Amino acid sequence: MKSVEQYRNQKVLVLGLAKSGVNAARLLHKLGAFVTVNDKKDFDQNPDAQELLSDGIKVITGGHPLSLLDEDFKVVVKNPGIPYSNPIVSGAIQKHIPVITEVELAAQILEGELIGVTGTNGKTTTTTLITMMLNQRSQAGKAYVAGNIGVPASAVAQKAGANDTMVTELSSFMLCGIDQLHPHIAVITNIYSTHLDWHGNRENYVKAKMRITMNQTADDYFVINWDSQEWRDLSQQSRAQVVPFSRQGNSTDGAYERDGQLYFRDEYIMDAKEIKIPGEHNVENALAAIAVAKLQGVPTNGIVEVLKSFSGVRHRTQYVETYEGRQFYNDSKATNIVSTEMALRGFDHPVVLLAGGLDRGNTFEKLAPALKKHVKTLIVFGETAQKLADAGKLAGIEDIEFTKNCETAVPLAWKQSAAGDIIMLSPACASWDQYPNFEVRGDRYIKAVEQLTGKAEEN
């Protein structure tokens, strides 16, 4: 951890808790700052705030009082999910108080190298693959996952040494709050349209994603998907060395697939069918990881070992189990249409799809072609149940069932399935209408599967 003096004896506001806020507050306290934490949850229902108070950190809960802006804060560290329209945030900006996210703070103290991964889909899988591959290297130093993957970057940055690498999943929300964050290798897996309710429009969303490369130089690398003209054009904005990856073989300058085989700059790596996790999207994730691993000197046999053995990240097309010929998959992380499309394309067998969740105002006609090709039964729940059912009807699906939530969907899916079918939770929606986050939703689904198969009782 670098010695940082810029926060010593300075007043800093941490806005919003959860994992990132708690770790940011503790780090700033360690750096000698006078930390104030502000969280909207009431104190008696807020164990994080209670712990911070016991650590000697000032805590204000139950709302976001504008009077906080009367204090002479040097910087505001906000939870990534808090929008810039929040009165405290917008007020701080008007007062020219820097507003950053916790990953910027982590980058300031990181001694080792930073690799940043962003994109609409595939961030977590790609981040995990890169980390596993880097840990196949023989030389000193360890690779750590951090960021949006669920591990606060500020906690990892404190333990990573000069020879270590922090592979950081960066959401668009996080990237809006960076200033000096400088990845040696930046990765964009893809950019589709999502979170537009937060960003306002696609242009702002794309700009947020591209901030990952804004501090890079000619000594750095920008790894980007080459299978869209838009993404190829975006690469011209980077000052780093551009390293493309392409499942469609659009470039041989980086990692690519050709005739079912994976290469890096004409070096054969492995056959695509040998990748353990299914789906074309996971071939793309593998190519992005291969590019980074090769740039970092990972031997080919180490790369192959990871791709042949990695069975997937929890909640990302995660294989759960097989029971009486049905394979169960948990893809709770699929919070948009494109994610669900990609998951469906990964299977050749008929799919019983469990979908639904938060209504963000969009409809699901774009999902209809994938539904028509892959889905035999559609089971819907949550705020978007009717909209998804409409898309199912458009796709010509005759068997469409309504249910309460993803747990009640499991036994219903079982009744509608046959041996050889895939039963998959891939909601195409955020979880917040019924669950605190997609992880809880996925865990509830897995528990329901275990209850169905009798595994829960065995444990």
Same fold, 11-100 and 318-454: no
- Confidence category of residue 316, pLDDT binned at 50, 70, 90: confident
The highest-level CATH class for domain 103-309 is alpha beta
- pLDDT, tens digit, for every residue of 318-360? 889 999 999 999 999 999 999 999 899 889 899 999 999 999 9
Given the DSSP bridges, would you call strands 267-271 and 261-264 parallel, antiparallel or unpaired? antiparallel
What are the distances in angstroms from CA 279 to CA 79, 343, 345, 349, 379? 33, 7, 6, 12, 22
Over residues 111-121, mean pLDDT: 96
Q: What would the pLDDT profile of 53-102 be if each residue is shown by its tens digit?
A: 999 999 999 999 999 999 999 999 999 989 999 999 999 999 999 999 99
Binding residues for ATP: 119-125
Mean pLDDT over each residue of the chain, to the nearest integer:
94
Residue 194 clears pLDDT 90, i.e. is over it: no
C-alpha torsion 306→309→315→318, nearest 10:
150
Radius of gyration of the chain, Cα coordinates, nearest whole angstrom: 23
Give residue 139's pLDDT.
74
Bridge-based pairing of strands 261-264 and 255-258 is antiparallel
Reduce the DSSP state of residue 58 to 3 states and report it: strand
CB 235 within 8 A of CB 246: no
Q: Which of 37, 26, 15 is nearest to 158 (CA)?
A: 26
Spell out the domain ranges in the chain.
Answer: 11-100, 103-309, 318-454
If phi over 0 gives left and psi between -120 and 50 gives alpha, with beta otherwise, what is residue 364? alpha
Q: What is the pLDDT of residues 367-417, one digit of tens each?
A: 999 999 999 999 999 999 999 999 999 999 999 999 999 999 999 999 999
In Å, what is the CA distance from 149 to each residue of 49, 118, 314, 353?
A: 23, 11, 11, 25
Determine the pLDDT at residue 198. 76
In 3-state terms, what secondary structure has residue 222? strand
Topology of the domain covering 318-454: Protein-Tyrosine Phosphatase; Chain A (3.90.190)
Can you point out the beta strands (E) in 119-259? 143-147, 165-169, 185-188, 221-225, 241-246, 255-258
Residue with tokens 């071939």: 283
Model pTM?
Answer: 0.82
Q: Mean of the pLDDT values across residues 130-155? A: 92
Any bridge partners for residue 115, and if so which? 167, 185
Predicted local distance difference test score (pLDDT) of residue 456: 53
**What are the residues facing 400 on neighbouring strands?**
378
CATH for the stretch 11-100: 3.40.50.720
End-to-end CA distance of the chain: 42
Which parts are annotated binding residues?
A: 119-125
pLDDT at position 457 over 60: no
pLDDT at 192: 87
